[in-house]
């Protein structure tokens, strides 16, 4: 079969790598791909939200299956368009993907179906938001309602910080239309974890849990990012907590979307926090998490294409997982998640990866024989080992090549 992967980030590079293991696949295309994906698949210069061009390409090239990686094309209706064209596609419709596209919708949905989450209020008026914040006190969480590339969340430790956050979103339009409404919610204290599942209708097939590191700098300091690293599984997460999350979050969410005429097929991601009252939802995503995908997929023993086919057909894919630890550390452009330079040369010899490590490209392009940066999160270096300490040692040993060049940084405490 010929397969298309829509997207050009680290998540999509991981998906392409996993699909390459399938003996059922002849050809893999990626749109638009990146410098790393280009080494293992055929990249086509079509933007991931150019729905008409994507449908035309898949039709013209008789693509057997398409996997949609990012959230933007999902909410642009790419799955709806593929289905209307009679093409096999794995991902939720734009109606189902709204569980990620609007935090206000997600909160109201969780309230309706008794899915545990933080108390909250939604505002479009800055003065009303300020009054609510003053009444609730800090710490408190401010979220842009729409998509903001993982940057639209402020965990405010003071009332002043919270007020500044709502002003930047509602008055200064920091996130444009995505921040025209804000969700102000209760701060939940506890250990976070990510739980993803293959979903089709009411069928839910959970993956191994992961934990990502959101803050930019060591010791969980600095601003929130899209994720500076991740690991899976999560040793301090008890099995009963995971089971509770499956039964009280994932299954009710899938059933609720079906009841709302928003039947979900694809990857449902729950960002969760372990509290004394049990796991609660921080956010839902309608696709693989990034960078969690980069550490979870290397643990999957199944043929990913066959999993997609089985799940889409309503069959149990009988997921099997390696008994090992998977860790990944993100290398980012200096300045991220704020302003940063692009076109910065990556270290020479980047492709000389030891057998016990892997490199996943996110924001790179290849110019001649060299790679240059094109994004804030540039790449991820990962390793799968029997012991987590061994994986960390392998990764940080390889990352020394970045200590010899300017323009990049990475956290030195991922997985600890």
Token digits of residue 23 = 């003996």
For residue 224, the model assigns a pLDDT of 83
The phi-psi region of residue 415 (left if phi > 0; otherwise alpha if psi is between -120 and 50; otherwise beta) is left
Whole-structure pTM value:
0.94
Structure-token pair, residue 212: 């990502």
How open is the CA angle 288-291-295, to the nearest 5 degrees? 90
Give the number of other CB atoms < 10 A from CB of residue 187: 15
Alpha helices for 339-416 (secondary structure H): 388-398
What DSSP assignment string belongs to 209-277?
A: -BEE--EEEGGGEEEE-S-SEEEES-TTS-HHHHHHHIIIIIHHHHHHHHHTT---EEEEEEEEEEETT
Question: What pLDDT is attached to residue 150?
Answer: 66
Task: Return the HEC string of 99-123.
Answer: HHHCHHHHHHHHHHCCCCECCEEEE
As a whole number of Å, the end-to-end CA separation of the chain is 41
- Which domains occur in the chain, in start order? 2-93 (3.40.50.20), 119-186 (3.30.1490.20), 191-312 (3.30.470.20), 325-410 (3.90.600.10)
- Residue 38 is predicted with a pLDDT of 95
| Rg for the chain, CA atoms, rounded | 20
Neighbours of 367 (CB within 10 A): 11
- The 3-state secondary structure of 136-200, one letter per residue: HCCCEEEEECCCCCCCCEEEECCHHHHHHHHHHHHCCCCCHHHHCCEEEEECCCCEEEEEEEEEE
CA distances from 277 to 116, 118, 188, 249 (A): 9, 11, 11, 14
Q: For residue 20, how many other CB atoms are within 10 A of its CB?
A: 13
Contact 32, 8 (CB under 8 A): yes
| CB-side neighbour CA atoms (13 Å) of 101 | 16
Residue ranges of the chain with pLDDT lower than 50?
none
């Amino acid at each position: 079969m010929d397969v298309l992967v829509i997207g050009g980030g680290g998540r999509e590079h991981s998906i392409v790598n996993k699909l390459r293991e399938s003996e059922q696949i002849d050809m893999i295309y990626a749109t638009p791909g990146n410098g790393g994906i280009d080494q293992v698949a055929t990249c086509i210069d079509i933007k991931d939200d150019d729905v008409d061009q994507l449908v035309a390409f898949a039709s013209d090239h008789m693509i057997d299956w398409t996997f949609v990686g990012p959230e933007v094309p999902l909410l642009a209706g790419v799955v709806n368009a593929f289905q209307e064209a009679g093409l096999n596609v794995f991902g939720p419709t734009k109606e189902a993907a709204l569980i990620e596209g609007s935090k206000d919708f997600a909160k109201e949905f969780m309230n309706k179906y008794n899915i545990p989450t933080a108390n909250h209020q939604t505002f479009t008026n800055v003065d009303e938001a300020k009054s609510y914040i003053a009444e609730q006190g800090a710490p408190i969480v401010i979220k842009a309602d729409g998509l903001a590339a993982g940057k639209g969340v402020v965990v405010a430790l003071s009332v002043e910080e919270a007020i500044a956050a709502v002003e930047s979103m509602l008055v200064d339009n920091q996130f444009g239309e995505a921040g025209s409404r804000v969700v102000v919610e209760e701060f939940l204290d506890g250990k976070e974890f990510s739980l993803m599942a293959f979903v089709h209708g009411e069928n839910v097939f959970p993956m191994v849990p992961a934990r990502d590191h959101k803050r930019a700098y060591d010791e969980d300091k600095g601003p929130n990012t899209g994720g500076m690293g991740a690991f899976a599984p999560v040793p301090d997460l008890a099995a009963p907590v995971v089971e509770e999350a499956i039964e009280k979050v994932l299954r009710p969410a899938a059933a609720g979307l079906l009841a709302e005429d928003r039947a979900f097929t694809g990857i449902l991601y729950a960002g969760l926090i372990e509290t004394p009252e049990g796991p609660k939802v921080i956010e839902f995503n309608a696709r693989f998490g990034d960078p969690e995908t980069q550490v979870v997929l290397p643990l999957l023993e199944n043929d990913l294409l066959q999993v997609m086919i089985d799940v889409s057909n309503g069959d149990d894919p009988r997921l099997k997982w390696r008994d090992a630890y998977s860790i990944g550390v993100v290398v980012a452009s200096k300045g991220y998640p704020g302003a940063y330079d692009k076109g910065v040369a990556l270290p020479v010899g980047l492709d000389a990866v030891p057998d016990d490590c892997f490199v996943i490209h996110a924001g790179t392009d290849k110019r001649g024989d060299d790679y240059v940066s094109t994004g804030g999160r540039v790449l991820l270096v990962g390793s799968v080992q029997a012991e987590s300490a061994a994986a960390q040692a392998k990764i940080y040993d390889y990352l020394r090549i970045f200590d010899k060049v300017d323009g990049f940084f990475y956290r030195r405490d991922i997985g600890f």
